[in-house]
Amino acid sequence: MHVIKCADYGEMSRTGASLILEALKKKPNLLLCAATGSSPEGLYIELATMAHSDLEPFKQLRILKLDEWGGIPENHPVSCEYFLKKKLLGPLDIPQERYISFASDPDEPETECWRIRSEIKREGPIDICILGLGRNGHLGLNEPAPKLESFCHVAALSAESLKHPMIASLEQKPEYGLTLGLKEILDSRLIIMLVSGKEKKHIAEKFLEAKVSPELPASFLWQHPQVECLVEQSVLD
């Protein structure tokens, strides 16, 4: 793992966006797995700014949604779907045929996960996976547990995840999560891990110890051969 200390959130976001742009020059149709939340938001803003000046580098880019809150309508402002369409898909002009997405409120969640598994098998592996560090060390919605799931699955949400800023204001919380599994994430050719926010200081310290445990799912990134870990300085202070 290559740990890069960034002076602030802006530098972290610009560095991440530059890594993606460089990769697009080598493979214009790369498959990008996109997380949601405050950590990657600045990176997406940087990509949107680049696309506004020159859309050409993004004309073959494919996007895969990392995870989703289950039981919430796709057009709800707190859904991952809404976030990505507003912050990434719209600004980069990504059409439906270049976007792989969970339905957020499927009739049969398990069947939806099998569909995404098949999509990844056909379109993958993931070229770049953008991740944020969960407050309890989760990766996507792979929660701390004695055993972790390898493939796309329906996830039981931890009490900590139900406090996530995206859904904190909801009276009725998501019933479950839909998320890629650890193997699908670790099969990515390049992983960009974003660590930001002073509230992540304690879990970031544990993560950076490089001790691998299912009780800290993000720690499995230490077993991946190519991870660019961008850490905001305020997390380390």
Cis peptide before 125 (omega within 30 of 0): yes
- Tell me the CATH class for 2-236: alpha beta
Q: What per-residue confidence (pLDDT) applies to 236? A: 86
67 is catalytic: yes
Q: Which two tokens stand for residue 58?
A: 């993004």
169's CB contacts (< 8 A; 6+ apart) are 78
Q: What per-residue confidence (pLDDT) applies to 171? A: 73
2 is catalytic: no
Q: What does 215-229 look like in DSSP terms, one character per residue?
A: TBGGGGGGGSS-EEE
Q: Give, for all 237 residues of the chain, the pLDDT tens digit.
A: 999 999 999 999 999 999 999 999 999 999 999 999 999 999 999 999 999 999 999 999 999 999 999 888 888 888 999 999 999 999 999 999 999 999 989 999 999 999 999 999 999 899 999 999 998 999 999 999 999 999 999 999 888 877 777 777 777 788 899 999 999 999 999 999 999 988 899 999 999 999 999 999 999 999 999 999 999 998 988
136 is catalytic: yes
Which of these is catalytic: 41, 46, 68, 138?
A: 138
Which of these is catalytic: 67, 68, 184, 232?
A: 67
Q: What per-residue confidence (pLDDT) applies to 48? A: 97
Q: What per-residue confidence (pLDDT) applies to 164? A: 75
Q: Hey, CA dihedral for 126, 124, 116, 146, is it positive or negative?
A: negative
In this structure, are residues 40 and 76 in contact, taking their beta carbons and an 8 Å threshold?
Answer: no
The H or E element that residue 155 is part of is strand 153-155
The H or E element that residue 190 is part of is strand 190-195
Print burial letters for 198-228: b (CB count within 10 Å at least 16), e (below 16).
eebeebbebbbeeeeebebbbbbbeebeebb
> What gap in Å lies between CA 189 and CA 187, rounded to an integer?
6
224 is catalytic: no
Which of these is catalytic: 136, 160, 175, 228?
A: 136
The position carrying tokens 């719209």 is 90
In this structure, are residues 198 and 122 in contact, taking their beta carbons and an 8 Å threshold?
Answer: no
Q: What per-residue confidence (pLDDT) applies to 88? A: 97
Which of these is catalytic: 46, 127, 143, 149?
A: 143
Q: What per-residue confidence (pLDDT) applies to 142? A: 95
pTM for the model: 0.95
> What gap in Å lies between CA 3 and CA 8, rounded to an integer?
15
Where in the chain are the domains?
2-236
